[in-house]
Structure 1
């Protein structure tokens, strides 16, 4: 108490002299802690960064995993299965829309292009071109000597049809992407060209006539119908580029399609074409004799 000498202690006392209940030990109770449970007031509050780290780590790790999964998925059959998942009614509807176009074919696809129809249409065109080209070659031979099948004609038909259906849409899509078109879709381009080949099936079935002018007329009609089909459906997509580029692309598309029609006529339905081996170099065809040999050629192809 030596350090407190010279000081007075002052105590302030309530005037009534009642300090209230001061025994704090009677109201002490233990309660469960709610620190680990989110309350209704802080449910929508963002969590601190320390608590967000597991989610961020999961997102970051899944990003790299998703890329590797997508790479594997791209090279798997399951990736391409979705483009063959169509029913018969959808295929028939699209074939009818290709032969009798009343609306934009891309609207008929409705964002769900398929490769099933284009594949089988192209395959059918290949075999019909081979069959009718063989008949045309038989007619050009005029019955001289033994007639042999030319399977190079089958390979030529496959290379022409499959190559045109695969490469031209791919190149068109790449050019459109190069010029900044956002509406270009590779699968839609393949579907458009694939279903556009449907017109060549009836054309090939009637173009093996010995009358060359009639064959030219059939191939010309097929070219006109399919060119209008391509022009009508590609114009909205190509127009996404500038005016000059769109005109050039449309001209190139029609020119390449004309090249396909000319190749079909010369390689498969011309009596003096490279497909007609053993044909005479000149002279007018004999319609009566060729008509008789046409029946023999059909019977030969059908195995009668």
Structure 2
């Protein structure tokens, strides 16, 4: 744990308040500061080269996180932008000007910060490894599919449930022909798993609240992610478990899985359409 009280009272760190929506720094800025987030939340943003003014969200920074630690080694242009999503309180130190003085005067506090940075980086590395491993396992299953049909999609859902270590996975399909019509196609908690239940939901988007109104059994902690490609919603994937909430890294992993899954579902639709056309031609 960081010794925030003594770090603050050392006199080397300054306090910074960011209002919701305010930027800490922008991509390309030269910033030689080390930041400690006292409370609040910030978003990591990376600009999209092919879309001027657009960015991709790479994740969130929360209370207790440290950023800008690369300034301890060298000062270089920022590769991302950091924007507060809520009112945020931060401590910072100008590394080039003051960190050496701070270390000489408060060696134990400096050691406390460095050890904390190592701990945070180890956690980030483990999360990245978990994400890579999960994506690899799912990609392997997809690459081994000789033909994509409903059964192969459900087999993939079983694999996702196993890889994520959750107790339940559901697939809710959005009917492309009938507006605002949702069909529960798969529920791993159900005895038969494969279902074809039309949900009584009249909305252009599905939420956990609307899903609960259908009296569908779900565990305590639930995560819902849309299966979307461009402007087309193909449905939703829902996972749930009893023991603990889903963290941000797990949400990111599910979003990556959803991208792969929507590709499989789209390919299934194309293959089905081609099969129907072939059957129609053969009938003449």
TM-score (norm 1): 0.24
Q: Which has the larger radius of gyration?
A: 1
Task: Determine which structure has the larger helix proportion and give its number.
Answer: 1
TM-score (norm 2): 0.25
